[in-house]
Amino acid sequence: MKQILLLSLALATFLTLSTDASSFSTDTDQGAVAAVPLIVNPHYKRNTPAHIQKLNKRYPDIKIQAGGGDNGIVSSGITGRVAIANVNSDLEYYGTVKVGTPAQLLRLNFDTGSSDIWFPSTACSTPACKSKHHTRFNPSSSSTYKKDGRPWKVEYGDGSVVSGQLASEIINVGGVQVRQTVGLATNVSSQFKNSPEDGIFGLGFSALMSVKGINTFMDNAIKGTLKQPLVSVFLPSSRRNGGQGGHVLFGGIDHSRFNDKLHYVPVTQKGYWQVKLDAFKVPVPSSSNSTGNDARKPIEISLQNQDAIIDTGTTLIVLSTTAAKKIHSSIPGSTLHPELGWLVPCTLRNRRHPSSSSSSSSSSINNKEAIAFKLNGKCFHVPLADLAFEAVEGLGEKGEWCLSGVQGGQEGLWILGDVFIKNHYAVFEYSPENPRVGLSPLKN
């Protein structure tokens, strides 16, 4: 990923999922909780243009351009924790999932911006599938594999293609097991050859499923013995904790990761995790007339009829062209490159960031060190240090310019990706009537 946006695999309307829920492992007699840990992968090579094209395919209403507490649920069941890998300094995240019997281990990208599950099978012989970076699932080695036979195919905006046949198999995430209809790829185009993950684990709603009428993994898990109908996400930040210790927690909430109560934001439309965005705030640039104790409040820009997607499968924050310009105009030294998009001085990484161990109210945040997004009446901050995302090679002095963690697109649906999420503990609650997202600033 070398140019505009640095997006993780923004995979859209591909594959297919699920059937009936199966047996679950049991941690307690209270219900199931499963967590997937995140692990660091230092070998991934970035390809920004391809990821931007995939994002355009995934969200047709957006054209990315350069410059452009307790949740009240009472239930029984188990939970599951899965560690997730932080790839190349917060570029994207994946975790290890067990597939089949005996279990075969696959690295899947946990993606709240899609709903399908897919990975390559041993029947795939394209160079991307046979790459040393990837593991292929072997159906003949699994006693629980069931052939479906229906074909599926996904095409992306960069010309990449994934296709194959559907199958039914046992999927195990941190101890939570579900029999699921998945896509087994028999053809994967070359654009995926160096991707660090083997496939995708969608966490969106059923409306995003490639094949209508098929349940998502979470639909089936909730029907089973999952302790609570939710998934919690802790994305580790390279700046905060060296990119270590992240997880996706199925059916539970790890309250040790945050101090404040969770603040819930209603989902406005089931499909993506789409929420209403009230406003955003930008810091007031220092001036020659300001004192050392400049307490001027940040500038708040109110929004009308503006929705945003909270998406673990997208690396950056993607806003309208106007909003991106407003944010960068508040950051001294920011510039709009005609090919690379918004750039900021890499020295921004050294700026003191807001304390996430205290309340996220504006009074507790250094106004000059963060931007903020107001969701359901509460502001959630992103330190300016996180906007200096990746140093640009061959432009100015070495380490002078960094690609910004905020980029512009067209007016319409905005995306709060990993640059936003990694500063907060995020809970995606699949309530049938009132789904919502819970957010709280992470502990330092």
- The answer to whether residue 62 is domain-embedded is no
**Per-residue model confidence as pLDDT tens digits over 42-51:** 554 444 444 5
Q: What is the pLDDT of residue 193?
A: 81
Q: What is the pLDDT of residue 219?
A: 95
386 shares a domain with 287:
yes
At residue 284, the pLDDT reads: 82
> What percentage of the chain reaches a pLDDT higher than 70?
75
pLDDT tens-place string over residues 415-438: 999 999 999 999 999 998 999 999
Q: What is the pLDDT of residue 90?
A: 65
Check pLDDT > 90 for residue 194.
Answer: no
Residues 231 and 341 in one domain: no
Q: How far apart are the first and last CA of the chain?
A: 29
Same domain, 239 and 278: no
272 with 169, same domain: the answer is no
Q: Is residue 231 part of a domain?
A: yes
- Mean pLDDT along residues 340-351: 89
- Just list the catalytic residues: 111, 311
Q: What is the pLDDT of residues 130-165, one digit of tens each?
A: 888 889 999 999 999 999 989 888 765 456 778 999
Write down the pLDDT at residue 367.
Answer: 52
Q: Are residues 228 and 343 in the same domain?
A: no
Q: Is the pLDDT of residue 21 over 50?
A: no
Angle at 59 between CA 207 and CA 150, to 5 degrees: 50
Both 343 and 241 in one domain: the answer is no
- Does position 350 have pLDDT exceeding 90, yes or no? no
- Do 303 and 396 fall into the same domain? yes
User: Which of 233, 250, 267 represents a domain boundary (last residue)?
Assistant: 250
Q: Which residue has the higher pLDDT, 288 or 121?
A: 121
Range 17-33 average pLDDT: 40
Q: Are residues 299 and 206 in the same domain?
A: no
Please state, in angstroms and rounded to a whole number, the distance separating the CA atoms of residues 128 and 187: 9
Instruction: Judge whether 65 lies within some domain.
Output: no
Check residue 72 and give its pLDDT.
33
Assigned domain for 110 exists: yes
Does the structure show a pLDDT above 60 at 314?
Answer: yes
pLDDT at 6: 31
How many separate domains does the chain show?
Answer: 2
Predicted TM-score of the model (pTM): 0.83
Whether 212 and 359 map to the same domain: the answer is no
Range of the domain at 371: 256-441
Do both 290 and 409 map to the same domain?
yes
Comparing 128 with 353, which gets the higher pLDDT?
Answer: 128
Contact of 226 with 163, CB cutoff 8 Å: no
* Same domain membership, residue 153 and residue 133: yes
Evaluate whether residue 2 is within a structural domain.
no
- pLDDT on residue 131: 85
The answer to the question of residue 64 being in a domain is no
Residues 432, 298: one domain? yes
Domain boundary (212, 231, 250) is at: 250
Cβ-contact 78, 34 below 8 angstroms: yes
Candidate ranges 58-67, 158-167, 250-259; pick with highest mean pLDDT: 250-259
Domain-embedded: residue 24: no
- Which of 232, 250, 268 lies at the terminal end of a domain, its last residue? 250
Quote the pLDDT of residue 322.
95
Give the model's pLDDT for residue 18. Answer: 30
Q: Looking at residue 331, which CATH number applies to its domain? A: 2.40.70.10
Q: Is residue 107 part of a domain?
A: yes
